[in-house]
A and B are shown apart, each in its own frame.
Chain A
Amino acid sequence: MGILQQSHGILGDLIERREEPDSLELDDIQHFLMARPPALAARYEFLTFKRSAGGRAWLAGLIDKVGTAKGVGTSILDSRWVTIGLTWNGLGALGVADAILATFPEEFRQGMAARADILGLTGANQPDRWADRLSSPNLHAIAILFARDVAERERCQQEHANYLAQCDGVEVLSALDLEAIPPFDYAHEHFGYRDRLSQPVIEGTRVEPTPGSGPPIKAGEFFLGYPDEKGPAAGMPQPETLSRNGSYVAYLKMEEHVGAFRDFLRAHGETPEQQELIAAKLMGRWRSGAPLVLAPDQDDPTLGADSQRTNDFNYAKMDPHGYGCPLGAHIRRMNPRDTAVNMNRRKMIRRGGTYGPPLPEGMPDDGVERGIAAFVGCASLVRQFEFAMNVWANDPNFHELGNERDPIFGTQDGSFDMTIPKRPIRKKIKGLPAFTTIRGGAYFFLPGIRALRYLASSVGH
């Protein structure tokens, strides 16, 4: 919650000073990757445009409800925010000309389902098994409706349904309801791990990165049209009206097998302390959030919750052999810090939330689907998101481990291991079960507001 309060004040300041040419156009950038609105509930609606004129009309009617980075920063908090994203097929379905469609990057044109092998989404995670019709070529758009609470979300859903009924040829392929699970005073997911402890700060937002998070990252790593960590903006889709201030997001719906996870902890730890340690070794942090590098033997919830300390560590200097945080643990894979090069080109902004009812401690798994629906935002899916999946999460030879994938998030089929470095002899768990299953995914483009108006008009179509 601290960062949210920070961003309200600072974004408010920033609105006044817009004299620099590369300063962020906060009234044109959708809020989604800039800041988290204070929403405890959301609904994702996955849409198809059966008629392009209908799709454009739907879009035209919603643009004024789309949350901008400027809007989220003010002290007037609307209770609703809308975010709109489009697949490459969706751009075409809106009538965008082929010559323009061809200027989008290859991986976005192919879509996530076609790139599943590259991402390591095989076996139980492959697109043939996805739900919600996410692998369909007719998936054209996502409308994210944020709401302060569940009651407000249900009101938004009804309002959108009424609106769609008036729109000619726009249909809902599927939808997903999200809500935070208790306890509500900090962000966490169904396995119980505290979340959102490490996030990049965008240069120009004047938010101070927490210690250990590295320097602010150039806006062009996340938003098209701005200089990135390598230099001036280049190779954007055309025309500039369409691409400027836009971003790409990779969507992943990940079911969490809470019963299997808790069984595993009990199988590998006799006492609650031992079970917490195993949970920590898989993730790289205790469930309280405390990083193993700083708290290798005992949990430290105060450390976990302290944003000034919880991210202030590295690997090459502080834990080169992985005695604290195993080399293949989730957070060490998703952010190798000082053990990898060009890290400022590998940053991503994560968003998302939990879906499904919580499973109370001690209860056997009830078979109800629960998990995380996540977005990974960046300016280049192939260089940022796909790299993380292909090289870090699902490469069995990451860190030359030989036969290991990300224990929480990787595609596990019971044949991969997990090494926990230990003196004198390391511990090797053979045949990790799958704690998660990817139930769907897609690549979306989040256009700027001007770009949304362009798409809603008939120009370039």
Chain B
Amino acid sequence: MATVATETPSIPKEIDSTKPQAMAIPKEGYFELQNGRYGPVYPRTPACYGFTIIAKIKPGREDAIRAYGKTIQGAIADLPDALATLKLHYLRWVLFDIGKDTYFMYQGIFDTDFDKYTEDAVALFTKYGVNTVFENLEGFPEDWKTNVPAFVKFVREHQRPSFLEYGEYPYVTADEIKKALKLKAAFSGMLDLMQ
């Protein structure tokens, strides 16, 4: 029985989000092993939560993968809250070559520990067709829709943790940012009314 800290990783109790912070992270990707339902949990950092998945693509699939850029653009234009479940800040999808092979990098920064919302993410990907991007990657499990552990295994095997993360407004969630923007807009409106 491991005698690890009793709490799941959460924001430090006293933080100043107005001061940028950087955090160096050990090679394993975590400071202390904490297990989630599907494997080790990676800590929250000044850049919130995130992952970087790097996987070789099946030969000849580059164009198919690139086409998803437009697909997702359209999906979000039609329904801006489509990916709300994932609590995303940012997404970056990149294709690059190493020698004769082409690789896909999926980098996401979000506010929820991936382990917690794995099944919801899988459901979302199926719903909006993001799943089929993954099917162009070598080694992606064919039965991923009914075999969540296999999907998670693929993600974990292809994920590389950061060793440095920096946040200009450390730990602040997307919801807090949006709230702050709404408050700012409400205040300006209020000042106008008081003229």
Contact = CB atoms under 8 A, between A and B. Distances in A.
Interface of A: 106-107, 115-118, 120, 122-123, 126-128, 230-231, 234-235, 341-342, 345, 382-383, 386-387, 390-391, 394-397, 400, 402-403, 411, 413
Interface in B33-80: 34-38
Contacts of B146: 230-231, 234-235
Given A231-B146, A390-B37, A117 B119 contact: no
Interface string B133-146: 00000000001011
Contacts, number: 71
Contacts of A234: 143, 146-147
A362 to B, nearest CB: 35
A395 B116 contact: yes
A342 B119 contact: yes
Contact of A117 (B34, B143, B148): B34
B173 interface: yes
19 contacts: A106-B149, A115-B35, A117-B34, A118-B37, A127-B1, A230-B123, A231-B145, A341-B120, A342-B119, A382-B37, A382-B149, A383-B119, A383-B148, A387-B37, A391-B116, A395-B116, A400-B175, A400-B176, A411-B6
User: Interface residues of B toward A: which range?
Assistant: 20 to 34
Interface in B1-44: 1-2, 4, 6-8, 10-11, 13, 34-38
A225 to B, nearest CB: 14
A448 B6 CA distance: 38
Given A396-B8, A396-B10, A235 B147 contact: yes
Contact of B11 (A106, A118, A402): A402
B85 interface: yes
Contacts of B85: 341
A397 B11 contact: yes
A403 to B, nearest CB: 7
Given A235-B147, A341-B85, A383-B148, A395 B1 contact: no
Contacts of A235: 146-147
A382 B116 CA distance: 11
Please list the 5 inter-chain residue pairs (A to B) with the smallest Cβ-Cβ separation, ordered nearest first: A234-B146, A122-B6, A397-B10, A391-B116, A396-B10
Given A403-B13, A411-B6, A386 B37 contact: yes
Contacts of B117: 391
Contacts of A395: 8, 10, 116
A394 B37 contact: no
Nearest to B11: A402
Contacts of B116: 387, 390-391, 395
Interface in B94-135: 116-117, 119-120, 123-124
A394 B8 contact: yes
A116 B34 CA distance: 11
A400 B173 contact: yes
A413 B37 contact: no
Contacts of A120: 8
Given A118-B36, A231-B146, A126 B1 contact: yes
A402 B15 CA distance: 12
Contacts of A383: 119, 148
Nearest to B84: A341
Contacts of A341: 85, 120, 123-124
A387 B8 CA distance: 14
Contacts of B6: 122-123, 411, 413
Most buried by B among A106, A383, A390, A394: A390
A390 B6 CA distance: 13
B2 A107 contact: no
